[in-house]
């Protein structure tokens, strides 16, 4: 296959839509990109859209329509020539040499058009017309359910665009438009794979394929599948015999299984799929797959013990520890440039799972390739969140087409272990109607998953409200723990009956050096009644609730709120770090009843005060190191005190037993309070020591251990709030927390 990139410089024109005699802007555009970034480069918008309140300036252009245009030289071929747009935001018409070749209205999925008959020799002109998303919404009718579901912005669910762009509690309002992923021309081979899916289990591989080409060519075609993973090698040949779609099955010798991080190697087979016509190679695809099975073992309700929600990979229960994956940037054309640093953080902090949150876009192959190769499981929401979406026939067809494209694109990635219908829409509906009447997540999406994927579970919503749960016959086995956002060890968090916590978080300030990059100098401090802090907290309507939330968390932990900015920032980061550590360790010591935690979240997608543990500029907060230690495959961690006793657990989330030695020290004096040895069974948490709980005498304990060649360290704060900030500072310095 030959490809011609159409990325780079385009011409861009824009004007207010539906305004007679509106003045027209003319500027240069970059593809991939978006009009807001081009307007910024051209001086129509501030150069740094994230500084101060500059992001609000983008609202001036929400009612504009835009024309992207460029010329290109046509390839010599006229057969099997396709124009491919990987991502267009959002309501588009496409013109080639003045003729309309198609339309689209979905930001999430690629659009392609066969263009051979439209091409002319020499220069050709390509134009993409984008209409205003906000004006399209303004022309839409809505149900009373849509109005009921959300006080502000429920109507924005009408278009297939990233939900967060209309404003969220983690992102600003920035209603983008543009060609946000790449554009190219493909001249495809005379015969090629239009579908190729490798279904695996623990011993065998089944290749399901669909071919594009003439029947006469397919009569003479042969397929050759070659692959290797270490010393496990295969080659399998298939005579097509005119069959457009079929399957082939074989068993690799000495199969190498794919495992999540901590449980084994993420073995991948590097695969080449070839098509021959006679003895001539006419098409080749290079890809990979992992041999593994996945199951979601769950009940509809629970009381905390008589229920379950757990993932089994290759028949083994996996204790899931990881982050919710949210948008990398408010302007998604910049996502790809942030992948490398962001994914390095995932590997370094020790996540074995990422939940791709439904308010985002669908990530590209580079993201999933990383997860495949590093043993990071992916929970993939479909792109719906916290709103009621139309259940009209038209919208159902849109969603079905989108989900079909997404599943077909991503299903070969072994890292994906779950398709989830949406984020929190069951909870939104729960307030006034039965979530199980949602035909989008109970009919449309499961049909797509069932029809286009095999061996991967589907969950209707996160959290899922079953019919029994709706009738209040039990609690949620999988839940999002936000609640009052009070003391992180309050009864709300401590007594949750959920087996699997797929969202929970706690605020922490970015470093002062980062704040100075996005807050104007005169607004850096103090934060009270500060419009820039409010905007970057993230609220564009002047509500300071999330600013004061962080202050509340500092006051709860330390009894007072520092007036010095550096002390305030540190106090907020300590409260966040201890909270995230607690959330993770609460799950780990709670085995076998607890089976996973996906905390919120790793990295900010724009500069803000938030639950993220790494800010937009990739500066780590204190919580980063706490989480890295807390979710290592093996750790010693304390349960919460009971009856004047504190129990220490060896949390072993691996498939091998561990043994070693340990000490428990007083953090202030360094005195060894207990020492001993331990035996920790595979894939479980084992109580190894019970000691007296003496918070006044030993306000903080330090655990050190050795198992094989591995040395480890952890701590536990015994003292109840209020803590002394200066004392805690000394602990940080002494133990390099």
Q: Please check the confidence at residue 540 and state whether its pLDDT lies above 80.
A: yes
Are residue 349 and residue 494 in the same domain, yes or no? yes
Are residue 370 and residue 502 in the same domain, yes or no? yes
Are residue 274 and residue 414 in the same domain, yes or no? no
**CATH code of the domain covering residue 6:** 2.60.120.260
Q: Quick check: 460 and 421 in contact, CB under 8 A?
A: yes
**Phi, psi dihedrals of residue 535, rounded to the nearest 5°:** -60, -40
Are residue 246 and residue 155 in the same domain, yes or no? no
Among 189, 208, 214, which Cα is nearest to 281's? 189
Q: Please check the confidence at residue 153 and state whether its pLDDT lies above 60.
A: no
How confident is the model over 58-108, as pLDDT tens digits? 999 999 999 999 999 999 999 999 999 999 999 999 999 999 999 999 999
Are residue 338 and residue 477 in the same domain, yes or no? yes
Please state, in angstroms and rounded to a whole number, the distance separating the CA atoms of residues 530 and 519.
10
Kindly report the average pLDDT of the chain as a whole number.
96
Are residue 471 and residue 338 in the same domain, yes or no? yes
How confident is the model over 624-639, as pLDDT tens digits? 999 999 999 999 999 9
Number of domains in the chain: 4
Per-residue pLDDT, averaged over 136-153, amounts to 72
pLDDT range class, residue 117, cuts 50, 70, 90: very high
Please state, in angstroms and rounded to a whole number, the distance separating the CA atoms of residues 275 and 225.
9
How confident is the model over 201-218, as pLDDT tens digits? 999 999 999 999 999 999
What pLDDT is stored for residue 538 in this prediction?
87
> Which string of DSSP letters, residue by residue, matches 568-597?
HHHHHHHHHHHHHHHHHHHHHHTTTT--EE
Cβ count near 318 (within 10 Å): 24
Q: Is residue 162 part of a domain?
A: yes
Q: Please check the confidence at residue 151 and state whether its pLDDT lies above 70.
A: no
What pLDDT is stored for residue 487 in this prediction?
94
Please state, in angstroms and rounded to a whole number, the distance separating the CA atoms of residues 181 and 606.
19
What pLDDT is stored for residue 150 in this prediction?
61
Under 8 Å CB-to-CB from 337, ≥6 apart: which residues?
none
How confident is the model over 658-694, as pLDDT tens digits? 999 999 999 999 999 999 999 999 999 999 999 999 9
Q: Please check the confidence at residue 156 and state whether its pLDDT lies above 80.
A: no
Helices assigned H by DSSP within 323-473 = 335-349, 365-374, 393-410, 425-430, 439, 445-452, 467-470
Q: Please check the confidence at residue 149 and state whether its pLDDT lies above 90.
A: no
Among 589, 669, 663, 671, which Cα is nearest to 630's? 589
What pLDDT is stored for residue 707 in this prediction?
95
Are residue 305 and residue 380 in the same domain, yes or no? yes
How confident is the model over 386-402, as pLDDT tens digits? 989 999 999 999 999 99
Are residue 207 and residue 319 in the same domain, yes or no? no
**Phi, psi dihedrals of residue 736, rounded to the nearest 5°:** 50, 50
* Percentage with pLDDT > 70 across the chain: 99
Q: Is residue 515 part of a domain?
A: no
Helices assigned H by DSSP within 542-671 = 545-558, 565-589, 622-630
Are residue 242 and residue 180 in the same domain, yes or no? no
pLDDT range class, residue 132, cuts 50, 70, 90: very high
Among 121, 115, 77, which Cα is nearest to 96's? 115
**CATH code of the domain covering residue 417:** 3.20.20.80
Beta-strand pair 294-298/245-250: unpaired
> Which string of DSSP letters, residue by residue, matches 116-139?
GGG--SSEEEEEEEEE-HHHHHHT
Q: Quick check: 415 and 185 in contact, CB under 8 A?
A: no
As given in the structure block, the two tokens for residue 301 are: 């309700």
How confident is the model over 506-531, as pLDDT tens digits? 999 999 999 999 999 999 999 999 99
What pLDDT is stored for residue 154 in this prediction?
56
Q: Is residue 560 part of a domain?
A: no
Per-residue pLDDT, averaged over 537-559, amounts to 93
Checking 473-477 for CB contacts under 8 A at 24+ apart, the result is 473/301, 474/300, 474/301, 474/302, 474/303, 474/307, 475/301, 475/302, 475/303, 475/304, 475/307, 476/301, 476/302, 477/298, 477/299, 477/300, 477/301, 477/302, 477/307, 477/308, 477/309
As given in the structure block, the two tokens for residue 114 are: 């066969």
Q: Please check the confidence at residue 615 and state whether its pLDDT lies above 70.
A: yes
Q: Please check the confidence at residue 163 and state whether its pLDDT lies above 80.
A: yes
Q: Is residue 379 part of a domain?
A: yes
pLDDT range class, residue 157, cuts 50, 70, 90: confident
Residue after which a domain boundary falls, among 264, 289, 314: 289
Are residue 152 and residue 267 in the same domain, yes or no? no
Q: Quick check: 419 and 460 in contact, CB under 8 A?
A: no
pLDDT range class, residue 152, cuts 50, 70, 90: low
- Diameter of the chain by CA atoms? 85
User: End-to-end distance of the chain based on CA atoms, in angstroms?
Assistant: 53
Q: How many Cα atoms within 13 Å fall on the side-chain side of residue 174?
A: 23
H/E segment holding residue 535: helix 531-535
Q: Please check the confidence at residue 451 and state whether its pLDDT lies above 60.
A: yes
Q: Please check the confidence at residue 296 and state whether its pLDDT lies above 90.
A: yes
Under 8 Å CB-to-CB from 638, ≥6 apart: which residues?
585, 589, 646, 647, 648, 649, 701, 703, 716
What pLDDT is stored for residue 72 in this prediction?
97
Question: Per the confidence metrics, is the pTM higher than 0.95?
Answer: yes
What pLDDT is stored for residue 711 in this prediction?
95
What pLDDT is stored for residue 155 in this prediction?
63
Range of 259's domain? Answer: 192-289
Please state, in angstroms and rounded to a whole number, the distance separating the CA atoms of residues 46 and 62.
16
**CATH code of the domain covering residue 690:** 2.60.40.10
Q: Is residue 250 part of a domain?
A: yes
Handedness of CA 422, 427, 432, 435 (dihedral sign): positive
- Burial readout 326-349 (b: 16 or more C-beta within 10 A, e: otherwise): bbbbbbbbbbbebbeebbebbeeb
What DSSP character marks residue 12? E
- CB burial of residue 676 (10 Å; 0-12, 13-18, 19+): exposed
Q: Is residue 520 part of a domain?
A: no
Please, what is the angle between helix 565-589 and helix 622-630, to 10°?
10
Are residue 74 and residue 107 in the same domain, yes or no? yes
Q: Quick check: 117 and 83 in contact, CB under 8 A?
A: no
- CB burial of residue 121 (10 Å; 0-12, 13-18, 19+): exposed
> What is the C-alpha R_g of the chain?
27
Are residue 304 and residue 442 in the same domain, yes or no? yes
Q: Quick check: 718 and 693 in contact, CB under 8 A?
A: yes
* Percentage with pLDDT > 90 across the chain: 93
What pLDDT is stored for residue 631 in this prediction?
97
Residues composing the chain: 737
Q: Is residue 677 part of a domain?
A: yes
Please state, in angstroms and rounded to a whole number, the distance separating the CA atoms of residues 410 and 391.
25
Residue ranges with strand state E in 123-182: 123-131, 178-179
> Which string of DSSP letters, residue by residue, matches 308-345?
-EEEEETTEEE-EEEEEE--S-SSGGGHHHHHHHHHHH
Please state, in angstroms and rounded to a whole number, the distance separating the CA atoms of residues 459 and 426.
11
CA distances from 56 to 24, 65, 173, 177, 520 (A): 21, 19, 8, 16, 15
Please state, in angstroms and rounded to a whole number, the distance separating the CA atoms of residues 631 and 150.
36
Q: Is residue 700 part of a domain?
A: yes
């Amino acid at each position: 296959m030959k490809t011609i990139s159409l990325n780079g410089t385009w011409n861009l024109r824009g004007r207010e839509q539906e305004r007679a005699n509106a003045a027209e802007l003319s500027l240069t555009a970059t593809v991939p990109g978006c009009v807001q970034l081009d307007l910024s480069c051209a001086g129509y918008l501030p150069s740094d859209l994230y500084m101060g309140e500059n992001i609000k300036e983008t609202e001036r252009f929400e009612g504009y329509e835009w024309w992207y245009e460029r010329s290109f030289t046509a390839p010599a071929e006229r057969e099997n020539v396709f124009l491919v747009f990987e991502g267009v935001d959002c309501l588009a018409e496409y013109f080639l040499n003045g003729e309309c070749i198609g339309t689209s209205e979905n930001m999430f999925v690629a659009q392609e058009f066969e263009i051979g008959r439209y091409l002319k020799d020499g220069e050709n002109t390509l134009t993409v017309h984008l209409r205003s998303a906000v004006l399209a919404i303004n022309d839409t009718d809505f149900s009373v359910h849509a109005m009921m579901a959300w006080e502000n912005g429920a109507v924005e669910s009408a278009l297939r665009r990233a939900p967060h762009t209309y404003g969220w509690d983690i992102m600003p309002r920035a209603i983008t438009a543009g060609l946000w992923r790449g554009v190219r021309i493909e001249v495809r081979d005379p015969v090629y794979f239009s579908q190729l899916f490798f279904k695996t289990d623990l011993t065998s591989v089944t290749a399901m394929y669909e071919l594009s080409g003439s029947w006469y060519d397919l009569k003479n075609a042969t397929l050759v599948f070659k692959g290797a993973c270490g010393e496990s090698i295969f080659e399998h040949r298939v005579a097509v015999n005119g069959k457009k779609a079929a399957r082939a099955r074989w068993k690799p010798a000495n199969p190498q299984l794919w495992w999540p991080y901590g449980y084994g190697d993420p073995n991948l087979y590097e695969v080449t799929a070839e098509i021959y016509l006679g003895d001539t190679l006419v098409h080749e695809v290079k890809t990979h797959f992992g041999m593994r099975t996945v199951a979601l073992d769950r009940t509809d309700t629970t009381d905390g013990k008589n229920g379950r929600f757990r993932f089994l990979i290759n028949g083994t229960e996996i204790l899931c520890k990881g982050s919710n994956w949210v948008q990398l940037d408010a302007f998604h054309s910049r996502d790809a440039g942030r992948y490398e640093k962001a994914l390095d953080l995932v590997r370094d902090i020790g996540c074995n799972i990422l939940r791709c949150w439904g308010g985002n876009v669908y990530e590209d192959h580079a993201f999933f390739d990383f997860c495949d190769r590093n043993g990071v499981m992916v929970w993939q929401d479909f792109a719906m969140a916290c709103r009621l979406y139309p259940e009209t026939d038209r919208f159902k067809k849109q969603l079905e087409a989108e989900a079909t494209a997404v599943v077909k694109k991503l299903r070969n990635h072994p890292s994906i272990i779950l398709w989830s219908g949406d984020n929190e829409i069951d909870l939104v509906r729960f307030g006034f109607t039965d979530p199980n009447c949602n035909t989008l997540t109970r009919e449309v999406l499961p049909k797509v998953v069932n029809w286009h994927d095999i061996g991967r579970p589907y969950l209707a919503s996160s959290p899922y409200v079953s019919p029994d749960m709706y009738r209040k016959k039990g609690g949620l086995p999988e839940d999002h723990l936000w609640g009052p956002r009070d003391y992180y060890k309050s009864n709300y968090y401590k007594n949750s009956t959920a087996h699997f916590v797929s969202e929970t978080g706690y605020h922490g300030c970015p470093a002062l050096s980062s704040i100075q990059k996005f807050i104007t100098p005169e607004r850096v401090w103090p934060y009270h009644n500060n419009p820039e802090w409010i905007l970057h907290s993230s609220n564009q309507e002047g509500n300071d609730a999330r600013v004061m939330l962080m202050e509340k968390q500092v006051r709860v932990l330390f009894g007072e709120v520092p007036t010095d900015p550096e002390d305030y920032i540190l106090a907020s980061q300590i409260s966040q770090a201890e909270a995230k550590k607690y959330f993770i360790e609460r799950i780990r010591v709670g085995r076998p009843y607890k089976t996973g935690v996906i905390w919120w979240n790793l990295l900010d997608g724009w500069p803000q005060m938030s639950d993220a543990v790494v800010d937009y500029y990739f500066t780590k907060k204190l919580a980063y190191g706490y989480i890295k230690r807390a979710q290592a495959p093996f750790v010693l961690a304390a349960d919460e005190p009971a009856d004047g006793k504190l129990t220490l657990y060896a949390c072993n989330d691996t498939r091998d037993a561990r043994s070693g030695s340990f000490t428990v020290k007083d953090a202030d004096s360094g005195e060894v309070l207990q020492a001993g040895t331990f035996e920790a069974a595979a894939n479980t948490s084992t109580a190894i020591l019970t000691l007296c709980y003496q918070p006044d005498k030993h306000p903080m304990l330090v655990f050190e251990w050795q198992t094989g060649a591995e040395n480890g360290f952890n701590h536990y704060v015994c003292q109840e709030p209020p803590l002394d900030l200066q004392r805690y500072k000394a602990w940080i310095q002494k133990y390099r927390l």
